[in-house]
Structure 1
């Protein structure tokens, strides 16, 4: 199932609500990179990129791109005041030391216990697992942004992942075009519904077992 720009922006905007003053934040490839464009007013965070940038910003306006300035996915970015550069080894040391408050990643599948599969579909060529393994294990909070179902219409929110895992029990929050779900000790808690979807829509398209509270937030 494809996803248009408006829907991707909506997911990124919701994810940006999780950012708090002073956080060090890493953004994965895909929808997560758009989060930098929706930081709430008055909130100041430092975006970290594995290629060696602290203080990365959102996408530049057309024509203002710098061919030598990009994020870890190779896409053009801006930098903020006070930004700094380091080599990739130092950037990964920051991750491995546990200095990243939140990492926001894409995913192929997430299980109801927070297992993450986001690096390979068997039989398809990939460059490698990249920084996702370290980020998933070492960031203080892992948020996943993704389509609710795959191209075959099958749920990506699973009882258990079928694809090779990136890390076990690491994901804390899942945001899709349909819903916001929190991984808790009791199970996968449905917190918010993205209108015009309904509770029935979300349950029908979710393989995992959902805990549905009495009070839900509906996002217009």
Structure 2
């Protein structure tokens, strides 16, 4: 059993996601970990960030002391607005999301199935507060849905599963999973490896996930 692999930190993971976003893309970053991607977009590329509460042209997080709490993202975190950016009605924002105008959305998840089913709004636990937000609209409205998450739960259970047991957000919508240990593609034939962190090998990854993964 190989335990000498190096996990990606949250910022390293955000930088890994940012590296795959193409120049000129319109992108929505979901609440939580995905918002970090805004701070790692490569210099010289033009990526237009959209926030579901009604922002287009969102910039990175402001420096300490420069926050404007009237300008926030969907997670209520203060953000900046780039030159040419705009803010607008919530309904217009959802029209963008539902109308296929976003190239990529990056969302967190509780579970993702091998074929790209997404569960990210509820664990189904009694008394849990539902938090679907705009995730359903994004998952099926964006041209590509990417998930950014830790591969394992705090209990060491894989979040990548053969079939989701939590309530679904969308069916066969996730194209890629970016995790702290590996990047995977979800295909109709199952999981396909894109890359691994240093020290990790495919056999160890399959052991952790408990599922077969086709090599890159």
Same fold (TM over 0.5): yes
Count of aligned residue pairs for this structure pair = 209
Partner residue, 1:157 = 160
TM-score, normalised on structure 1?
0.91
Deviation at 1:125, TM superposition (A): 2.6
Deviation at 1:199, TM superposition (A): 2.4
Instruction: Please say if residues 159 and 209 of structure 1, whose CA atoms lie closer than 8 Å, have aligned partners that are also in contact.
Output: no
In the aligned structure 1, how far is the partner of 2:38 from the partner of 2:10? 13
Higher relative contact order (CA 8 A, sep 6+): 2
Deviation at 1:184, TM superposition (A): 2.2
Give RMSD over aligned pairs. Answer: 1.5
What runs of 5+ residues in structure 2 fail to find an aligned partner? Answer: 1-7
Deviation at 1:74, TM superposition (A): 0.5
Q: What is the aligned counterpart of 1:80 among 79, 82, 88?
A: 82
TM-score, normalised on structure 2?
0.92
Partner residue, 1:95 = 97
Task: Map Cα deviations across residues 148-172 of structure 1 (whole Å, 9 max, x no partner).
Answer: 1112111101011111110000000
In the aligned structure 1, how far is the partner of 2:119 from the partner of 2:169? 5
Instruction: State how 1:135-174 maps to structure 2 within 5 Å.
Output: 135-174=138-177
* 1:194 maps onto 2:197 in alignment: yes
Partner residue, 1:32 = 34
Partner residue, 2:120 = 118
Instruction: Please say if residues 109 and 157 of structure 1, whose CA atoms lie closer than 8 Å, have aligned partners that are also in contact.
Output: yes
Deviation at 1:127, TM superposition (A): 4.7
What secondary structure, in the 3-state scheme, does the structure 2 residue paired with 1:25 have?
strand
What runs of 5+ residues in structure 1 fail to find an aligned partner? Answer: 1-5, 214-220
Task: Map Cα deviations across residues 77-133 of structure 1 (whole Å, 9 max, x no partner).
Answer: 111110011110000011111101000000000000000000001124325311000
In the aligned structure 2, how far is the partner of 1:209 from the partner of 1:185? 14
In the aligned structure 2, how far is the partner of 1:109 from the partner of 1:97? 26
